[in-house]
Amino acid sequence: MEKIISLCKRRGFIFQGSEIYGGLAGTWDYGPLGVTLKNNIKRLWWEMFVENRDDMYGVDAALIMNPKVWEASGHVAGFADPLENGEKFNVMFKTSVGAGEEAIVSYLRPETAQGMFVNFKNVIDAFHPKLPFGMGQIGKAFRNEISPRDFIFRTREFEQMEIEYFVKEKDWKDFFENWREQMFDWMKAIGLPKKSIHELEVPEEDRAHYSKRTVDFEFDFPFGKKELYGLAYRTDFDLRNHSASSGVDLQYFEEETGERFTPHVIEPTFGVDRTILAVLTSAYTEDELNGETRTYLKLSKSIAPVKAAIFPLLKNKPELVEKAREVYMMLKKEIPQIVFDDNGNIGKRYRRQDEIGTPACITIDFDTLKDDTVTVRDRDTGEQKRVAIKDLKDSI
Ligand code: ATP
């Protein structure tokens, strides 16, 4: 863990929140490479689970909601952890909305899910989707955790990628199974090794108040096997309670059968920050290359924050620098996540790029000036091959 935290700070992935003031427990700031890695993960998730499908509807709901939402959802009464003395402590962050006597007490949302349930009717009215269909959302959630710890694993402000998938009650088992598989597909897509993932059937006494079945996906983090994601069968708990409490009918009307009923919900939930920690943990590698020990991040190409680095072989040869700049500008239009680097010698540049997980390093040398080919070095094997400039985009 120490090595990962130190690499994250040194290379600009993740910094302690408010560091110059001594930090604030449970908060972390993403630096330039961290935010790119995070955006790549969120974009991949959004494409896979929202954009590339016909049965999903994306939303981006407000973080601060009417406090009645949190009463109906059961969070005001039940979203509490035990303190040492056994007392229950509600982990929602209270805040006041509005000025003076008009102010009301509300909460920063502790999960993104409710932003979808309260918009269920809006989506139905605007799009008339057929069951089964789902809603997806990516956004911040806040929990005043009693003891934040383990870097970005347990923080007080974090991000979630959540899906509420609405089905007929009789179909819940099939869709639960179906989403279990889709969650494994996702973990594969971001390069998490299957052997590091363990499913846990959560016993009734440990399940959230709304869940009739929960499977946790645990991951072998450096500090032990801990929850990465969850898959819950939330029944019709939320829609039913919001209907009763708001007085707005949140039932679904099925045209074919003329039936009116409250759909049941399967909820796959993915923590963004825990995803990043799992990705960094499995990518962090120390090996020996050409007789030297090195550290590198074996990030999958789909999420690596830098896809390729372009170097002139020598910094003090203007013709090489000019050609390298030209190749860089050309590629940058096609693949924005690339960098130009002419600092230090080639060995140092390779080491720097390895440490941030750049899959390919491209060197412009004297042969390039003659035949328009460059050297492409592979991060994992260190192998180099000659590639024509015109084939570079496909090659990386
Ligand atoms: P835990 O048991 O570890 O507190 P939880 O079961 O309360 O987690 P959920 O309510 O299922 O977590 O939240 C959904 C997802 O949000 C989790 O699977 C996790 O990825 C993420 N998550 C929850 N709490 C935190 C936190 N404090 N910091 C970072 N991510 C979190």
SS3 per residue for 129-180: CCCCEEEEEEEEEECCCCCCECCCCECCEEEEEEEEEEECHHHHHHHHHHHH
Determine how many CB atoms are found less than 10 A away from the CB of residue 233: 22
Residues above pLDDT 90, as percent of the chain: 97
**Axis-axis angle for helices 272-283, 32-46 (nearest 10):** 110
The answer, yes or no, to whether any atom of ligand 1 lies below 6 A from the CB of 109, is: no
> Cβ distance 172 to 264 under 8 Å?
yes
Q: Taking residues 175-184, what's their average pLDDT? A: 98
Q: Are residues 91 and 18 in the same domain?
A: yes
- Is position 295 within any domain? no
Q: Taking residues 89-112, what's their average pLDDT? A: 96
Q: Are residues 168 and 58 in the same domain?
A: yes
Q: Are residues 128 and 274 in the same domain?
A: yes
Domain CATH code at residue 391: 3.40.50.800
Cα(271) to centroid(ligand 1), Å: 7
* Atom 15 in ligand 1: residue holding the nearest Cα: 271
Q: How many domains does the chain have?
A: 2
- Is position 356 within any domain? yes
Mean of the per-residue pLDDT values of the chain: 97
Q: Can you give the pLDDT at residue 289? A: 87
Q: Are residues 156 and 248 in the same domain?
A: yes
Q: Are residues 245 and 315 in the same domain?
A: no
Q: Can you give the pLDDT at residue 136? A: 98
Domain CATH code at residue 246: 3.30.930.10
Q: Taking residues 124-148, what's their average pLDDT? A: 97
316: its two tokens: 């003090």
- Is position 296 within any domain? no
267: its two tokens: 């909820």
Q: Are residues 242 and 165 in the same domain?
A: yes
Segments forming the whole domain that contains residue 336: 306-395
Q: Are residues 18 and 104 in the same domain?
A: yes
Q: Are residues 188 and 330 in the same domain?
A: no
Residues above pLDDT 70, as percent of the chain: 100
- Is position 292 within any domain? no
Q: Are residues 173 and 69 in the same domain?
A: yes
- Is position 288 within any domain? no
Pocket test for ligand 1, best of 14, 114, 154 (most atoms within 8 A of CB): 154
Cα(230) to centroid(ligand 1), Å: 8
Q: Are residues 227 and 149 in the same domain?
A: yes
56: its two tokens: 């999903």
The answer, yes or no, to whether any atom of ligand 1 lies below 6 A from the CB of 139, is: no
The answer, yes or no, to whether any atom of ligand 1 lies below 6 A from the CB of 273, is: yes
Closest to 168 measured CA to CA, from 57, 256, 103: 256
Q: Are residues 313 and 217 in the same domain?
A: no
User: What's the pLDDT tens digit per position in 239-287?
Assistant: 999 999 999 999 999 999 999 999 999 999 999 999 999 999 999 999 9
CA-CA-CA-CA dihedral for 45, 49, 52, 54, to nearest 10: -160
Give the whole-angstrom CA distance, residue 59 versus residue 137. 5
Cα(383) to centroid(ligand 1), Å: 41
- Is position 104 within any domain? yes
- Is position 297 within any domain? no
Q: Give residue 209's pLDDT band: very low, low, confident or very high (50, 70, 90).
A: confident
Whether 290 has a pLDDT exceeding 90, the answer reads no
Q: Are residues 246 and 371 in the same domain?
A: no
Whether 227 has a pLDDT exceeding 90, the answer reads yes
Q: Give residue 147's pLDDT band: very low, low, confident or very high (50, 70, 90).
A: very high
Give the whole-angstrom CA distance, residue 314 versus residue 316. 6
Q: Can you give the pLDDT at residue 252? A: 97
CA-CA-CA-CA dihedral for 90, 227, 37, 342, to nearest 10: 120
Residue with tokens 């269909």: 133
- Is position 172 within any domain? yes
* Atom 14 in ligand 1: residue holding the nearest Cα: 269
DSSP string over 168-229: -GGGHHHHHHHHHHHHHHHHHHTT--GGGEEEEE--GGGS-TT-SEEEEEEEEETTEEEEEE
**Cα–Cα–Cα angle for 203, 207, 208, nearest 5°?**
175
